[in-house]
Chains A and B, each alone.
Chain A
Amino acid sequence: MSESVISVQNLTRRFGDFVAVDHVSFEVEQGEIVGYLGPNGSGKTTTIRMLLGLLEPSEGKATVLGYDAFRQSEDVRARAGYMSQKFALYDDLTTLENLTFYGGVYGITDKNRIKQTLELVGLTGHESTLTRSLSAGWRQRLALGIALVHQPKLLFLDEPTSGVDPTARRAFWDLIYQLAESGVTILVTTHYMDEAEYCERVGIMRDGKLLAMDTPTNLKQKVIPGDVWEVFAEPLQDGLNALHEIDGVLRVGLAGDHLRTITQRGMKKTALQTGLDSKGVHVANIAAGEPTLEDVFLSLAR
């Protein structure tokens, strides 16, 4: 049996009557990038907080890097990096001062190590810029640098790309891959479906429960119960109501300008078309859709 970097069994956390995390179990191997996907309030952050020993589990057990996450949190924290969605930076310090401070807190006083970290996150040349005047993308890199300054073997990223533009997000993910290649294990939470696709494995959280955890491909194959269609109907709400009443339609969800529709496998496009026509819904187009994690999510709903 290979040693797991993270091993979680029946991890549960209650706040009064509210169950924030409900008997969650999973394993993460070394060098993996594991995504934790779910809407806000589904228990992602609570899970991470328990893994870092910030919260005591109500039930269950979590082992991180071979240490008990709650009882030996000091050992975990010294070896793990954490980047929160708030980007915990001091606005009135410069880039270098921020990094030097956090480095010192981890006992790293070697200036070269700090320089290396700056280089790694691509902030060389911005050393004396006040953090306050950095763009969101740069702030994100600095926050990552802070989480990495002590060269952790495990990195927790809690919604690391919130409020950052798509280009910066892409660049950020390139960095994450680079880190994973060097052997760093990464657990990242997100509520962006497209971002979860970047992960090797994705766990789907909803209402505190881990509904599934697998590679994005496997999830799509195993969880989605049929075929995926993109239905462009006008108005969308009428289409939504009508689709629910058609035989063979399993799931319908709003997706921007169209309706994501999951039907029984092998259902014909014409069957959908005639079904909608008979209900008097104007259909602009129906196209076969490429299954996404969004569809996985839709399939797991209720």
Chain B
Amino acid sequence: MNSRLVSVMRKEFIQAFRDRRTVIMIVVMPILQLFLLGYASATDVKNIPIAVWDQSQTPQSRALLDAFRSADYFRIAYAVSSQAEIQSLIEQGSARAALIIPPDYDRRLLENNAQVSMILDGSDASVGATALSVAQLIGQSYGAKIVEEQAALQGRPMLSASPLQVRTQVWYNPDLISAYFMIPGVIGQLLFMITTVLTASAVVRERERGTIEQLIVTPIRPWELMVGKITPYVILSFVEVIEALIIGHWWFKVPVIGNLGLIALSSGLLLLSSLGIGLFASTVAHTQQEATVMVQMTMLPSIFLSGLFFPIDAMPRVLQWISYLVPLKYFIITLRSLMLKGAGLGTIQNQVIPLALFGFIIMGAAARRFHKTLD
């Protein structure tokens, strides 16, 4: 085994554990965050993207869709024609809910016993809960309107029962437990934050103390120094993920349906981004403080634009665009799909590809800068 590489890794491990703040950050933070955020979340929802399967295709069914459209809560994003399409859209997270209008909707509406069904993605509990109540509300008020119209038109007495019922069905998280929604997000955020913060000081610390110059005059190669510095943090991060998964699964009872290998793979891809960002900051900054400030600037968008607390669908368009540049967003969506929906690689590829792309680009840039620092 390469003794230069091993020496760097061992040294970084010793340093990481000698600093008490780092130890606290690594061990206590996941517990603290999981409990804080696992128990607290209340969010406001708008523009939930839904898929519609209109089997009726009549003026009546289109009138119902208009009612859904006119409420701000839903955005009809997809018109589909099969259960399988609904399944895949919801698994990907592209649609948060689906409305199914049966073929005999218009006929049964006249008979006053029309039913439509609403499928909700419960993995995002706050969205799910809102969508659930809103869908029922729309159904009720729209039903009431029809009754009124009919009464006025035909001079018939008003019916007490609504002619329209919205039957709801919640997938993945039927009880809409917010922890189910929060835990995957917290895992992502922890992973991202801890690794960027720790690596940000990795290189600049050596420069501040003048040890980088001493290292340059040794036979060590830049890649050995870089890999040696990063590896300990990668290992610590995976310990972190496992810790969070254990607490999430056994304390908060969050199901972990998905493939653990895929969870590890996507975590690895997120690490590529976070370590890249940290390393890049470290090679650009002149002091540890500067590096920390730089990293903190990436922290805010990561927390607020990743869908960790606030659904991205409800954000102004500009913020939604910016969110495409937030690697954590892709990871959180992926992890929620994996943990709660048991999604496969096919369904998460829309997230995994940009995540990988982001990771390779930022890591590549960091590696180049790293090389330059050493020359």
Contact between chains at B211 and A90 (CB < 8 Å): yes
B1-52 contacts to A, CB under 8 A, are: 3-4, 6-8, 10-11, 14-15, 18-19
**B220 smallest CB distance to A (angstroms):** 5
Given A91-B209, A93-B15: A104 and B217 interface contact (C-beta under 8 Å): no
**A182 smallest CB distance to B (angstroms):** 21
Given A84-B214, A104-B3: A93 and B14 interface contact (C-beta under 8 Å): yes
Contact between chains at A105 and B7 (CB < 8 Å): yes
Using an 8 Å CB-CB cutoff, how does the interface string of B214-252 with A read, 1 for contact, 0 for none? 111111100000000000000000000000000000000
CA distance A84 to B210 in the complex (A): 8
**B2 smallest CB distance to A (angstroms):** 9
| A88 / chain B contacts, CB cutoff of 8 Å | 209-211, 213-215
Specify the chain A residue showing the minimal Cβ separation from B224.
Answer: A105
Using an 8 Å CB-CB cutoff, how does the interface string of A76-107 with B read, 1 for contact, 0 for none? 01101010101111111100010011111111
Given A84-B213, A88-B211: A105 and B218 interface contact (C-beta under 8 Å): yes
CA distance A77 to B220 in the complex (A): 10
Which interface residue of B4, B214, B216, B219 has the most chain A CB atoms within 10 A? B214
Q: Is A146 positioned at the interface, with any CB of B under 8 Å from its CB? A: yes
| B216 / chain A contacts, CB cutoff of 8 Å | 54
Contact between chains at B217 and A74 (CB < 8 Å): no
Number of interface residues of B (CB under 8 A): 22
Contact between chains at B209 and A90 (CB < 8 Å): yes
B215's partner among A74, A92, A105, A107 (CB-CB below 8 A) is A105
Specify the chain B residue showing the minimal Cβ separation from A130.
Answer: B18
Which interface residue of B4, B7, B15 has the most chain A CB atoms within 10 A? B7
A86's partner among B11, B209, B217, B218 (CB-CB below 8 A) is B209
**B19 smallest CB distance to A (angstroms):** 7
| A108 / chain B contacts, CB cutoff of 8 Å | 3
Specify the chain B residue showing the minimal Cβ separation from A52.
Answer: B217
Contact between chains at A102 and B15 (CB < 8 Å): no
Number of interface residues of A (CB under 8 A): 28
B218's partner among A84, A92, A93, A106 (CB-CB below 8 A) is A106
| A86 / chain B contacts, CB cutoff of 8 Å | 209-210, 213
A97's partner among B3, B8, B11, B220 (CB-CB below 8 A) is B11
| A90 / chain B contacts, CB cutoff of 8 Å | 11, 15, 209, 211
CA distance A78 to B216 in the complex (A): 11
Q: Is A274 positioned at the interface, with any CB of B under 8 Å from its CB? A: no
**B76 smallest CB distance to A (angstroms):** 59
Given A54-B217, A82-B217, A105-B218: A93 and B11 interface contact (C-beta under 8 Å): yes
**B280 smallest CB distance to A (angstroms):** 23
CA distance A108 to B7 in the complex (A): 10
Contact between chains at B214 and A107 (CB < 8 Å): no
| B11 / chain A contacts, CB cutoff of 8 Å | 90, 93, 97, 101
Contact between chains at B219 and A101 (CB < 8 Å): no
Contact between chains at A101 and B7 (CB < 8 Å): yes
Specify the chain A residue showing the minimal Cβ separation from B17.
Answer: A92
CA distance A172 to B188 in the complex (A): 53
Specify the chain A residue showing the minimal Cβ separation from B9.
Answer: A104
| B211 / chain A contacts, CB cutoff of 8 Å | 88-90
Contact between chains at A104 and B213 (CB < 8 Å): no
Given A88-B210, A97-B11: A77 and B219 interface contact (C-beta under 8 Å): yes
B4's partner among A54, A87, A91, A104 (CB-CB below 8 A) is A104
Specify the chain A residue showing the minimal Cβ separation from B225.
Answer: A105
Given A77-B218, A77-B219, A93-B15: A105 and B4 interface contact (C-beta under 8 Å): yes
Contact between chains at B219 and A105 (CB < 8 Å): yes
Given A93-B11, A97-B14, A105-B4: A146 and B219 interface contact (C-beta under 8 Å): no
Contact between chains at B210 and A107 (CB < 8 Å): no
Using an 8 Å CB-CB cutoff, how does the interface string of A156-180 with B read, 1 for contact, 0 for none? 0000000000000000000000000
**A173 smallest CB distance to B (angstroms):** 22
CA distance A52 to B216 in the complex (A): 10
Which interface residue of B7, B15, B217 has the most chain A CB atoms within 10 A? B217
**A71 smallest CB distance to B (angstroms):** 14
| B3 / chain A contacts, CB cutoff of 8 Å | 104-105, 107-109
CA distance A88 to B217 in the complex (A): 11
| A contact set with B: CB distance below 8 Å | 52, 54, 74, 77-78, 80, 82, 84, 86-93, 97, 100-109, 146
- 9 closest A-B pairs by CB: A104-B7, A88-B214, A86-B210, A88-B211, A82-B217, A101-B11, A105-B218, A78-B219, A92-B18
11 A-B pairs whose Cβ atoms sit less than 8 Å apart in the complex: A74-B219, A77-B217, A78-B219, A88-B213, A91-B209, A92-B15, A92-B18, A93-B11, A93-B15, A100-B7, A102-B214
With A88-B213, A104-B4, A104-B10 given, name 7 new contacts (CB 8 A): A54-B217, A77-B217, A78-B219, A86-B213, A90-B15, A93-B11, A102-B214
